[in-house]
Amino acid sequence: MKLASNSLPYGSFKKKLVDYFTLKFIINGFIISILLSLFIFLDLLNLKYISNLSLISAIFGFYFILKSNKKIWFWSGFFIGFFWFYWISFSLIYYDFTYLIPVEILGICLIYGFIFLAAGWLENIYIKAIFLLFASYIAPFGFDWLNFELIFVDTFFIPSIYTLALMLISIIIAIKFNIYFGISLLICSLAINYNNKIEYRGLPFDISLISTNISQDKIWDRSTKDKIVKNNLNMIDQAISDGSRIVVLPESAFPLFLDHSEILLSVLKQKSYQIAIVTGALGTSDNKLYNSTYLFDKGEVKRLDKLILVPFGEEIPLPNFIKDLINRLFFDSAVDYSHANSVSDYEIDGIKIRNAICYEATRDELFINEPKFMIAITNNAWFTPSTQPNLQSKLLKLKAYKYKTIIYHSVNGSPSQMITP
């Protein structure tokens, strides 16, 4: 019996779809994704030259993916989505939706799988290379952490889009003309960072970067609030004893609406005659909720609100009718955070410092006018233990180099650090 003519398109589509699940394509995509993601996991070892090993891995990853067909590109993107961003789903734990973690991870993997599939669809090596070069500009829901320039951070190479471009060009030459040890490596060598001995001077006074390790389920627990506040005040007093000019506490260090806590405000103002205090807390105005930085200095207080909010963490980047539904179903009808209208700076002893809170410190928009100094505060307890702090640190190092900005980063849930260009 012959099949009806209208069944042929469905049968053909089904066959094409099944072809994507060939074990060979899945394994190849998995291996490529490991090669292009290894630098994140090797960073956990915290060894000085380990990033150069992961760079070699990435070169092979670029080589194999540029030679691969669109089906392997889909699976490469699928597993890259997993290895780079599996940790995003961990925040569901604190909303009592732990059972949805596999669903969210699958969703992340599919998003990046289809993005890579679109890039590899035409089977054109030059289009594929352009995608890898500008991957960070393809940001689903505004999330732009997929950036292959990060592979060069902490290596002998300059971490920039130009280095990535030279690397991809050299690999294309190797694929097209099989010249591995000639033009290919010569072009790569042009990007070696010969100026790695340049020294950048930090702030001209001592600064205490506070690291805390408070689990996310404890931060907003009312029974622990007083203990957290007391510990914060003790750390401020210790910084005063150490002779620091500034003490920096992480994002949400004070788990309350600080601008409505008159007694605590008074205490912090009093301490600020001895030391400038930079700390995270909530803020409100005009019935709007803000994730804020508070600066206390010489008895005065200034609130600086976050500009760029975390997608699906602080705001739902979808139309209002969908946003309201998601907030009602998953966040107990909570409203999104509001954001500032522009970047914010403050001055301490006449020195201008750019304010940044967590995610926005990794965004180019925060580095407008190339600030010389930035103080960033972060709460990584949403995602730890995971590789999220390592990926975030790589991003901050990339931005520090790109904009020649010294970043002071105070963190809850992972080590604080000073990052120089």
Name the active-site residue from 104, 358, 394, 397: 358
378: nearest Cα among 331, 320, 310, 327: 310
The CA–CA distances, whole Å, from 173 to 64, 65, 70, 190 equal 13, 14, 21, 15
Name the residue with tokens 């490469």: 76
Which residues are 278's β-sheet partners? Answer: 248, 295
H or E stretch covering 2: none
Spatial contact of 64 and 36, defined as CB atoms under 8 Å apart: no
Q: Which residues contact 291 (CB under 8 A, 6 or more apart)?
A: 251, 252, 280, 282, 283, 305, 306, 309, 314, 337, 357, 358
Q: How far apart are CA 397 and CA 152, in angstroms?
A: 10
Q: How far apart are CA 157 and CA 155, in angstroms?
A: 5
The answer to whether residue 300 is catalytic is no
Contacts of range 175-180, beta carbons closer than 8 Å, 24 or more positions apart: 175/63, 175/66, 175/67, 175/125, 176/125
Name the active-site residue from 104, 149, 251, 360: 251
The answer to whether residue 365 is catalytic is no
The upper half-sphere exposure of residue 189, i.e. CA atoms within 13 Å in the direction of its Cβ, equals 7
Name the active-site residue from 71, 128, 271, 306: 306
The answer to whether residue 358 is catalytic is yes
> Catalytic residue positions?
251, 306, 358
